[in-house]
Amino acid sequence: MTKQALTDAVEYLEKCGREIPLTLMVSLVSLGVKTVEYFQSTLTRMVRNVYDGDLGGEFVQIMQDLVLGQISQAFETAWTDDGNELPPPEYIRDASQDMVREQWSHIDDFYRAIIDARVDQTGVDPLLSRVQLWANQWNTAYNECRRLIAVENGDKLKWVVGLTEHCETCLALNGIVAYAKEWEELGVHPGGTDNQLLDCRGYNCQCGLEVTTQRRSPNAYDTIIGIVSR
């Protein structure tokens, strides 16, 4: 089924108020037709299905496909948002594939955690809270691609807080302008998984590093070091 046919089928079901089959939702995310919201709702249904015994070991392969579609779409969106045409160059594709492989490395543990919760009858809610962390990797992938482009072009980046609650580190970094190579050298970036340099550890972080023509902040390098070293 083509992307357009999938989209038409889902829009028809939504218009009729009918539940969208899980297989269709997976296809939409895997093909990059739908992103963060559909990824989250699809994975939520998958977790519930595994917990209820309606989905087995195929969960791992399905989730791998979801992650591949999500991360690839985020990198491609960031590339085209920068005014470029697809396909992206090799350094962007390599970074996307590296992030996909890193995310894949956590899927088996997630599946086992769901099975353990079902056996121990500890409830599904703690597992559902982790779904948001997986979904937020779209933002992490998007920001990483924009950062790589900025490094390649020698651009400056400004830290901008997102539309959510902020930790003290992100608030202190907000508005700081430094060269992309400086942010890269320091290893300071928004989002991520267990980001040790941020008080929020990157969980549910919606901050971004945006390309800017503004002047570099005074003593930007040392200021950033001081903030993340508190």
Where exactly are the structural domains of the chain? 3-140, 155-228
- Cβ-contact 91, 145 below 8 angstroms: no
pLDDT over 70 (residue 181)? yes
Q: Of the candidates 29, 28, 22, 26, which has an alpha carbon nearest to the alpha carbon of residue 8?
A: 28
pLDDT score of 35: 64
Calculate mean pLDDT across residues 195-210: 86
Measure the CA–CA gap between 211 and 180, rounded to whole angstroms.
Answer: 9
Cα distance between residue 145 and residue 157, in whole Å: 13
What gap in Å lies between CA 214 and CA 148, rounded to an integer? 19
pLDDT of residue 112: 97
Summarize pLDDT for 33-74 with one digit per residue, the tens: 556 777 888 899 999 999 999 999 999 999 998 899 899 999
Q: What pLDDT, on a 0 to 100 scale, did the predictor assign at position 107?
A: 96
Instruction: Read off the pLDDT of residues 115-151 as tens digits, 9 standing for 90 and up.
Output: 999 999 999 999 998 998 898 888 889 989 999 999 9
pLDDT of 11 over the 80 cut: no
For residues 47 and 53, give the distance between their C-alpha atoms in angstroms, rounded to a whole number. 10
Calculated CA dihedral for residues 63, 138, 191, 168, nearest 10 degrees = -120
Secondary structure (3-state) at 188: coil
The chain-wide mean pLDDT, for the chain, equals 87
User: Looking at 2-11, 52-61, 192-201, which range is the least confident one?
Assistant: 2-11
* Residue recorded with tokens 């699809």: 42
pLDDT score of 25? 62
Among 59, 74, 53, smallest CA distance to 22 is for 59
Model confidence, pTM: 0.78
For residues 43 and 135, is the Cβ–Cβ distance under 8 A? yes
pLDDT of residue 201: 86
How far, in Å, CA of 158 to CA of 208, rounded?
8
State residue 63's pLDDT score: 93
Predicted pLDDT at 226: 95
- Looking at residue 165, its pLDDT comes to 81
